[in-house]
Structure 1
Amino acid sequence: MKTLTGTGTLVRLILRRDRIRIPVWLIGLVFFALSSASGVQGLYRSRAELVTAARVVENNPAFIAMNGPAQALDTFGGRAAWEIGAFGLSAVALMSMFLMGRQTRSEEESGRMELVRAAVVGRHAPVTAALTVVAGVNLLLGALVAAGFIALDFPTGGSLVMGGTFAAVGLVFAALTAVTAQVTEHTRGVYGITGALLGVAYVVRAAGDIGNGSLSWLSPIGWAQAARPFAGERWEPLLLAVVVSALLVYVAFALGARRDVGAGLVAQRPGPPVASLGLARPFGLALRLQRAALIGWTVALFLSGLAYGSVGRDIEDLVADSPEMGDILTQTGGNLVDSFFATTTLMLALLASGFSIQSALRLRSEESSGRAEPLLATAISRARWATSHLTVAMVGAAIVVAAGGLGTGISYGISIGELGQVPRLLGASLVHLPAVWVLSGLAIALFGLSPRAAMFAWAALGGSVVVGFFGQLFGFPDWVTELSPFTHSPQVPVADPTIGPLVVLSGLAAGLVALGLWAFGRRDVATT
């Protein structure tokens, strides 16, 4: 047991360091799950409406590929579980990945782990402490989700299994991240490998759900959905997830015993002896650092657009079968299809804001890691260095937003035989670009004014999501909804685009960027 010496102390240290991060994740995921469940109760007023909506899902492979198999969709519990679906479980996996990577490989990469290991700390204590905390977070998440569903008067058995699916997926990806943290030397490598495996799990699950069902058993997300919350619950798939998690933890310990602190099992490939001309300039370096993220987000938004576009034709079938449902979905005005695409383009723009904020906050990570200080010690000015990353964030956001709109237009245009929908839906996506830039500008402003506060840009995105999709459900006052920049974006294609709000939002984004650059030029470089 000497290899676990100091585990308790490290657990307390992790809880201290992540005392804000962990509650934010928990609150966000629990709110997402319970608001989705409450939304189902508010949207569908009778079982007949549930049956009609279930028929549309069951006949559309795109719906099933996006969210999971159609299980008991004619019940409130089954519909709520499906709407949370694979997206919600993927968000839990991302939480585990980020929390676990931060407390393992990130600590080694920064050099802090070497100082910790110099004390009376066992070889496996750091990983054990991180696993203990992240596992506890996932179990607490599952308990909160289950309790929330029960409080909303969903069946107790299904509620417990629903919470169990959240915990099970989180445990698997926490253990998987512990393994990848032993393999690569860099945190971005851990996130890249684990994120890619999450993507594979999602795609394999989708392929299994719409084709050969046995493929879904190769995915942890598929295991969770095979537990069938509110649809004849099964605990065996969740036990499988626990067993696999335990095996992955064993592998992580075994690999950790075979490497040095700070090193990875796979040695970093040496770079070329001479840097390219692009890397000799700040913008070229910024683009190189963010190239993989830009490509990944662009592909993800394009594929999401393809999926959403394929659904548009079936929305009309839904109206034909249930006029009442059509009335609900067209409350924002316009016809049903246009209302649907106004919502989906907003959703894609909110997703694109994730890249925009992540890219802008690369300034913070470069500064806190100490990599920015040597660059700023040369002839490169602070403004030029910051502007290089800012350019990637702003231009990259435009590319990502356009990819979502392009995918939506292509898919819908092909499905109805009218490719003229491509520029129409591309434009519907691009009208949200100034709002995306506002969130980028906010991240830059916070970075310049107070580096530690820069992460609150994510809270602004979370607030925009809540306002955009749950504002009417919860009856938020107008002044609250107007805090979101997306509230002021024209609701194209329901309404005609107006230039005024776009100019104001673009001006606000420019002002926030200017404020951030001004403040950054007048403070010390922070290395923590």
Structure 2
Amino acid sequence: MSPLTGTRHLVRLILRRDRVLLPLWVLVLAVLPVSYAKSFFALFSTAAERAAYASGTARNPSIVALLGPVYGESVGALTAQRGGFLLVIVALASLLTVIRHTRTEEEAGRRELLGGTVLGRHAGLTAALLVTYAADLLLGLVTAVGLLGTGLPAAGSLAYGLGTALVGVVFATVGGLAAQLTETAGGARGIGIAVLGAAFGLRLVGDTARNDWPSWLSPLGWAPRLRAYEGERWWVLALPLAVTVLLAAAAYRISVRRDLGAGLLPPRLGPATAGPALSGPFGLAWRLHRGQLLWWSVGFGLLGLILGGAAEAAGKSVEGNPQLEQIMARLGGASGLAEAYLGATLSLAGLAAAGYGIQAALRMRAEETGGLAEPVLATGVHRTGWLLSHLLFALLGPVLVLAVTGFTTGLTYGLSVRNVPGELPRLVGAGLAQVPAAWVLAGFAVLLYGLLPRLASMAWAVLAVCVLLGQLGAVLELSQWLLDLSPFTHTPQVLRDQWPVAPLWALSALALLLAAAGLTAFRRRDLPTT
């Protein structure tokens, strides 16, 4: 039997399981660069305006740290830089997809069941990599075609699309290798995200330093150095291809040398007996959620440092362009362009925090399908207490990460304008104002889990729709009723002097109603439901 026997069938299985989620993240990530290009065409009608904007962003280290360098003054060059942070999202989506279909399947025992059939040793890893590679390449192709449709040059559009796709390919392979190193999916995700964080750190240091050699060590730094639309350097594409081959070779070599269910790294053994903290469902939930809550908080804190440092320069970079000033003021709803920038970026942070809330809520589904919920509920633990223990983190987690984001943003922005006592509480409040909208999406995830557990992952699709409405609504001039479908549309801009409190109470009440409905449905249905 060939080591690849059964790969085709596993590819079909993965495509069936991800028939909603996979096209969704490909579509969202492909549409965003197109929207950036259209907005730049609309906002900068002259070369002088583009030059002023490019000069302003290039001089600000915080913007460069977040988005990457800008290599020209054309609309294409500005679009390529504006989409710089999307590379991180593509990388994260790719590595998590591979881990989900390799180590998660193995940890849940489904890989062992499939292994009892006619299935080659390499089939599982190969199928996961093939599907993710195909999704990344499709993302790059759709992005290139979309950018070409806006009127940008074909060569630059292709370079940008390929650079984005190959970032995903590299980190998909990182996910495949991480899945061979540990016995748990959580450990594999931790390794993969640590590698991604290190790559972002190298890119950040290289792009903001005088000598950019650290960026050449980072896969996130290679795509910008293709210099799409500014004299493409096609040889750079050889770097991600070579690294992909090396990582894949290592992953396959480890795969054949380890036992099924085992990893290369030895597991860290815990204490023989549980401590008092694990005597109830809330202690267990804390044990399960504390790691990801910590890393989300650290990541949001670092993001806030960058956003706050870039705020003042972001406002100055658009001065002299009345059309852009008007749009930015509408987005942020504040008196100054810096405040408009802060309002818009904290709104994006709210969307990301909603992702944490959904992830924490869907941990219940993972516990159930993994066969871990049933033994807990077979004891004296009541269903209500078990669900509320996880719901606590789905609701309080966004509060913590948005408070951290507001604090670090307010600190760095306050230092830049020399008014920390005034800006710090204001921006913490602006961050916390995003919490009720994030709660609505977490509550919807709980409702799906309780009522239609098989469709619980559709909560991610709802988040993607909210991202699209928030990012493309103003550009595409969508109808207001359509924009109102997103709870984030109803979040008041608290950086204004006067703002309404009623929407926050209404969103909070809606979130609690959704969660209560999910709890009621969960108490009445059978367990497990797979």
2:43–2:323 CA contact under 8 A, matched in 1: no
Task: Describe how 1:312-351 pairs up with structure 2 within 5 A.
Answer: 312-332=311-331, 333=333, 334-351=335-352
Aligned partner of 2:177 among 176, 179, 185: 179
Aligned residue type for 1:448: G
1:92–1:169 CA contact under 8 A, matched in 2: yes
Distance across 1 between alignment mates of 2:320 and 2:166: 38
1:52–1:321 CA contact under 8 A, matched in 2: no
Distance across 2 between alignment mates of 1:163 and 1:482: 32
Aligned residue type for 1:373: E
Distance across 2 between alignment mates of 1:330 and 1:272: 56
Structure 2 equivalent of residue 475 of structure 1: 477
1:360–1:390 CA contact under 8 A, matched in 2: yes
Query: Deviation string for 1:447-476 (max 9, x for gaps)?
Result: 111011211212222222222232121121
Q: Quote how far apart the aligned CAs of 1:495 are.
A: 4.9
2:459 matches 1:457: yes
Aligned residue type for 1:473: V
Aligned residue type for 1:33: P
Unaligned runs of 5+ in 1: none
Structure 1 equivalent of residue 116 of structure 2: 118
Unaligned runs of 5+ in 2: none
Aligned partner of 1:433 among 435, 458, 463: 435
Structure 1 equivalent of residue 381 of structure 2: 380
2:402 matches 1:405: no
Q: Quote how far apart the aligned CAs of 1:316 are.
A: 4.2
Aligned residue type for 1:233: E
Q: Quote how far apart the aligned CAs of 1:224 are.
A: 1.4
Change (3 A) 1:71 1:275: same
Task: Describe how 1:499-518 pairs up with structure 2 within 5 A.
Answer: 499-518=501-520
Change (3 A) 1:467 1:25: closer
Deviates more, 1:122-131 or 1:56-65: 122-131
Distance across 2 between alignment mates of 1:12 and 1:462: 24
Q: Quote how far apart the aligned CAs of 1:325 are.
A: 3.5
Q: Any idea what SS the aligned residue of 1:269 has?
A: coil
Distance across 2 between alignment mates of 1:225 and 1:254: 32
Structure 1 equivalent of residue 89 of structure 2: 91
Structure 1 equivalent of residue 8 of structure 2: 8
Q: Quote how far apart the aligned CAs of 1:44 are.
A: 2.0
Q: Quote how far apart the aligned CAs of 1:28 are.
A: 1.6
Distance across 2 between alignment mates of 1:155 and 1:329: 28
Aligned residue type for 1:392: F
Q: Quote how far apart the aligned CAs of 1:320 are.
A: 4.6
Aligned residue type for 1:395: L
Distance across 2 between alignment mates of 1:160 and 1:179: 29
2:280–2:381 CA contact under 8 A, matched in 1: no
Deviates more, 1:199-208 or 1:267-276: 267-276
2:293 matches 1:274: no
Structure 2 equivalent of residue 152 of structure 1: 150
Structure 1 equivalent of residue 447 of structure 2: 445
1:490–1:496 CA contact under 8 A, matched in 2: no
Aligned residue type for 1:400: V
Distance across 1 between alignment mates of 2:466 and 2:5: 44
Distance across 2 between alignment mates of 1:139 and 1:273: 47
Structure 2 equivalent of residue 523 of structure 1: 525
2:57–2:313 CA contact under 8 A, matched in 1: no
Query: Deviation string for 1:56-79 (max 9, x for gaps)?
Result: 11110111110111211x101001
Q: Quote how far apart the aligned CAs of 1:322 are.
A: 4.2
- Please, what is the CA RMSD of the aligned residues? 1.5
Q: Any idea what SS the aligned residue of 2:312 has?
A: helix
2:93 matches 1:80: no
Q: Quote how far apart the aligned CAs of 1:157 are.
A: 0.6
Distance across 2 between alignment mates of 1:223 and 1:98: 21
Q: Any idea what SS the aligned residue of 1:521 has?
A: helix
Distance across 2 between alignment mates of 1:33 and 1:127: 31
Distance across 2 between alignment mates of 1:341 and 1:174: 33
Q: Quote how far apart the aligned CAs of 1:527 are.
A: 4.7
Change (3 A) 1:120 1:456: closer
Q: Quote how far apart the aligned CAs of 1:363 are.
A: 1.2
Distance across 2 between alignment mates of 1:182 and 1:347: 34
Query: Deviation string for 1:304-362 (max 9, x for gaps)?
Result: 11111112222343355545542342235433222222212211111111111111111
Q: Quote how far apart the aligned CAs of 1:233 are.
A: 0.5
Query: Deviation string for 1:118-177 (max 9, x for gaps)?
Result: 222221222122222222222222111111111221101101111111121111111111
1:52–1:322 CA contact under 8 A, matched in 2: no
Deviates more, 1:7-16 or 1:202-211: 7-16
Q: Any idea what SS the aligned residue of 1:231 has?
A: coil
Deviates more, 1:270-279 or 1:382-391: 270-279
Distance across 2 between alignment mates of 1:481 and 1:220: 36
2:57–2:314 CA contact under 8 A, matched in 1: no
Change (3 A) 1:141 1:315: closer
Structure 1 equivalent of residue 30 of structure 2: 30
2:449–2:455 CA contact under 8 A, matched in 1: yes
Deviates more, 1:13-22 or 1:257-266: 13-22
2:61–2:310 CA contact under 8 A, matched in 1: no
Distance across 2 between alignment mates of 1:323 and 1:106: 52
Task: Describe how 1:21-60 pairs up with structure 2 within 5 A.
Answer: 21-60=21-60
